[in-house]
Amino acid sequence: MEAQGRRPVSVRSVNCPNCGAATAVRTFGHAVNVVCQSCRSILDAANPGVTILQQYTNAVREEPLIPLGTRGKLLDIECEVVGFQVRQITVEGVAYQWREYLLFNPYREFRYLTEYAGHWNVVSTINALPEGGPTPDGSAPRSYGRQRYRHFQTAVATTTFVLGEFPWQIRVGDTTTGSDYVAPPLMLSAEVDADKEVTWSLGRYVAGDEIWTSLSLPGTPPEPVGVFANQPSPFQGATLAMWRNAMRLVALATLLWLAHLVSARDKQAFAQNFVFDSRTAQEATLVTPIFELDGRPTAVEIETATNLDNQWMFVGYALVNDETGQAFEVGRDVSYYHGVEDGESWTEGSPTDTVTLPSVPAGRYFLRIETEGDRTASPLPYHVRVVRDVSTSLWFMVALVLIVLPPILSSWRALKFEGRRWQESDHG
Partner 1 sequence: MTSRAASCPNCGAPLVYRWSSSVQTVCEYCRSIVVRTDVDMKKVGQVADLPYDGSPIQLSTEGRYGDKGFVVAGRILYQYDQGTWNEWRIVLDGGIDGWLSDAQNALAVSFLTSGLEIPTLAQASLGRSFVWNGTPFTVVSRTLAHYAGVEGELPFEYWDKTEVTFVDLRSEGADFATIDYSDETPALYIGKAVDFDTVRLRNVRTFEGW
Contact footprint for partner 1 (CB under 8 A)? 1-4, 6, 8-12, 27-32, 46, 105-110, 125, 127-131, 133-135, 167-169, 195-199
Find the helix packing angle between 394-423 and 236-263, rounded to 10°. Answer: 170
Q: Minimum distance from CB of 169 to partner 1 (Å)?
A: 5
Q: Minimum distance from CB of 229 to partner 1 (Å)?
A: 24
Give the whole-angstrom CA distance, residue 103 versus residue 71: 9
Beta strands (DSSP E) in 350-409 are 352-360, 363-373, 380-388
Which CB sits closer to partner 1, 128 or 340? Answer: 128
Q: Which residues contact 327 (CB under 8 A, 6 or more apart)?
A: 318, 319, 320, 321
How far lies 212's CA from each of 74, 84, 113, 116, 117, in Å? 10, 17, 12, 15, 15
Q: Minimum distance from CB of 191 to partner 1 (Å)?
A: 11
Give the whole-angstrom CA distance, residue 417 versus residue 227: 7
Contact 344, 291 (CB under 8 A): no
How far lies 405's CA from each of 102, 249, 252, in Å? 47, 12, 16
Q: Which residue type sits at 147? A: Q
Q: Give a three-class secondary structure readout of 49-110.
A: CCCEEECCCCCCCCCCCCCCCCEEEECCEEEEEEEEEEEEEEECCEEEEEEEEEEECCCCCC
Which CB sits closer to partner 1, 109 or 348? Answer: 109
Which CB sits closer to partner 1, 8 or 93? Answer: 8
Q: Minimum distance from CB of 204 to partner 1 (Å)?
A: 17
How many alpha carbons lie under 13 Å from residue 285 in its C-beta half-sphere?
2
Q: Minimum distance from CB of 19 to partner 1 (Å)?
A: 23
- Catalogue the long-range contacts made by 67-73 (C-beta closer than 8 Å, 24 or more residues apart): 68/26, 68/163, 68/164, 69/24, 69/26, 70/215, 70/217, 71/215, 72/214, 72/215, 72/216, 73/214
Give the whole-angstrom CA distance, residue 221 versus residue 207: 9
Which CB sits closer to partner 1, 144 or 317? Answer: 144
Which CB sits closer to partner 1, 26 or 421? Answer: 26
Which CB sits closer to partner 1, 28 or 366? Answer: 28
Give the whole-angstrom CA distance, residue 65 versus residue 419: 30
Which CB sits closer to partner 1, 138 or 325? Answer: 138
Q: Minimum distance from CB of 408 to partner 1 (Å)?
A: 41
Q: Minimum distance from CB of 155 to partner 1 (Å)?
A: 20
Which CB sits closer to partner 1, 129 or 355? Answer: 129
Give the whole-angstrom CA distance, residue 428 versus residue 422: 5
Q: Minimum distance from CB of 195 to partner 1 (Å)?
A: 5
Which CB sits closer to partner 1, 59 or 194? Answer: 194
Which CB sits closer to partner 1, 53 or 229? Answer: 53
Q: Minimum distance from CB of 220 to partner 1 (Å)?
A: 28
Q: Render 249-295 in DSSP notation, one character per residue.
A: HHHHHHHHHHHHHHH---EEEEEEEEEE-TTT-SEEEEEPPPEEE-S
Q: Minimum distance from CB of 227 to partner 1 (Å)?
A: 31
